């Protein structure tokens, strides 16, 4: 869901050369045509300015140029090769998102927000851990807040769990996500990597590594979160604390990521490529 | 075929780890809930005890048994089977070998 007031920009690790877009992190070079070169050479560029450029330079009707510019930005963003800085005010964006959500309601879908690619310093394991934690704090916080709100609303109102327990379990949802992705990043060090945050998915993208290393990196995320959850659960059992056990569940649930039901699991088993 | 065996072995191991850990936490959760409710329970798969909550006087004991190991093995086998199916669909495994 993009708007002409949004700005297309190249993230760290992606550079434009005439005729190609080079992803230094993943080691991929994508060819670009003349129109893409025109736009990318001016990045960061507002999408309405990009559309105007296309209309003037390639003599296409204004509305088609706007459509082309939005599609171009969307495809680059979906491939993790460009970020889109949102224009307009937050309330206006929120209202547009709500309208989109209502239109998509019959299809059971939600409007997709643009992905955001964030740089990761994986030169050392310690830096990888710190960088991933900092980059994912907003996403982890959001997940923790949503989880806590849902659990407080459901659990506390039904009298099933105490307020503090619901809050701790909600926070555990966010913390488990951070630990999971940090596990991938730490296992990747010192291979260059970047974090791509989508609406419902967070992933660490990286350059080519051997199949064995790819499997180890894929397993490291679920194992990191799962081990933490399992340790908390074991401690909770020793302490006979149902509250602590409940808080351990989100992190332990990440161990499902070791099975072929998930992409991480399939890569970890060697059943598919990274 | 050796590569396929390695994939299946790895899938079994990872599935068993995931199944064992998740089974342990679920069993512990059920056990603690039973303890909190002041009841007693015994959950077993055949002769293998998964969970046992017993009350002797005012004392309550909670024990997790080897049944969790069986759950881990079963889930590991299911994961290995699923990995084999994925490999065949991808054409990474020759059914004639």
The answer, for B22 touching chain A at a CB cutoff of 8 Å, is: yes
Do residues A148 and A166 touch, judged by C-beta distance below 8 A? yes
CA distance A240 to chain B (A): 7
* B18, closest residue in chain A (CA to CA): A255
A–B CB contacts, 8 A cutoff, strictly below: 90
For chain B, 97 residues long, give each residue's pLDDT as a single digit of tens.
567 888 999 999 999 999 999 999 999 888 888 888 888 888 888 888 998 888 887 788 888 889 999 999 999 999 999 999 998 888 755 544 4
Instruction: Summarize pLDDT for A222-243 with one digit per residue, the tens.
Output: 999 999 999 999 888 888 888 8
CA–CA separation, A223 and A204 (whole Å): 15
CA–CA separation, A170 and A46 (whole Å): 38
Instruction: Summarize pLDDT for A108-118 with one digit per residue, the tens.
Output: 888 888 899 99
> Edge-to-edge strand order for the sheet containing B59-64?
B41-45, B48-56, B59-64
Substitution target in A243, A255, A266, A269 with the highest count of B β-carbons within 10 Å is A269
CA–CA separation, A128 and A120 (whole Å): 7
The answer, for B18 touching chain A at a CB cutoff of 8 Å, is: yes
């Amino acid at each position: 869901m993009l708007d002409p007031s949004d700005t297309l920009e190249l993230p760290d690790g992606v550079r434009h050369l005439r005729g190609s877009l080079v992803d230094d992190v993943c080691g991929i070079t994508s060819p670009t045509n003349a129109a893409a070169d025109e736009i990318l050479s001016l990045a960061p560029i507002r999408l309405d300015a990009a559309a105007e450029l296309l209309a003037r330079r390639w003599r296409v009707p204004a509305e088609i140029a706007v459509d082309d510019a939005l599609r171009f930005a969307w495809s680059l963003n979906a491939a993790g090769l460009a970020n889109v800085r949102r224009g307009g005010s937050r309330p206006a964006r929120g209202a547009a998102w709500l309208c989109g959500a209502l239109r998509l309601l019959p299809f059971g879908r939600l409007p997709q927000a643009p992905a955001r690619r964030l740089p990761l310093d994986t030169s050392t394991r310690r830096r990888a851990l710190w960088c991933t934690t900092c980059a994912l704090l907003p996403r982890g916080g959001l997940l923790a807040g949503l989880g806590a709100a849902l659990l407080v609303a459901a659990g506390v109102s039904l009298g099933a769990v105490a307020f503090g327990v619901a809050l701790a379990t909600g926070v555990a949802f966010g913390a488990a996500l951070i630990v999971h992705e940090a596990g991938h990043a730490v296992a990747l060090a010192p291979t260059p990597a970047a974090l791509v945050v989508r609406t419902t998915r967070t992933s660490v993208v990286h350059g080519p590594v051997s199949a064995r290393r790819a499997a180890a990196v894929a397993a490291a995320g679920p194992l990191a979160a799962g081990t933490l959850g399992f340790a908390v659960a074991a401690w909770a059992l020793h302490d006979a604390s149902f509250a602590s056990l409940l808080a351990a569940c989100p992190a332990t649930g990440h161990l499902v990521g070791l099975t072929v039901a998930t992409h991480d699991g399939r890569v970890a088993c060697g059943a598919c490529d990274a | 075929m050796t590569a396929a065996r390695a994939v299946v072995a790895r899938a079994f191991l990872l599935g068993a780890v995931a199944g064992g850990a998740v089974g342990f936490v679920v069993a512990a959760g059920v056990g603690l809930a039973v303890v909190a409710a002041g009841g007693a329970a015994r959950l077993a798969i055949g002769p293998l005890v998964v969970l046992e909550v017993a009350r002797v006087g005012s004392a309550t004991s909670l024990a997790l048994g080897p049944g969790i190991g069986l759950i881990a093995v079963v889930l590991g086998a299911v994961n290995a089977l699923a990995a084999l199916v994925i490999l065949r669909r991808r054409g990474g495994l020759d059914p004639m070998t």
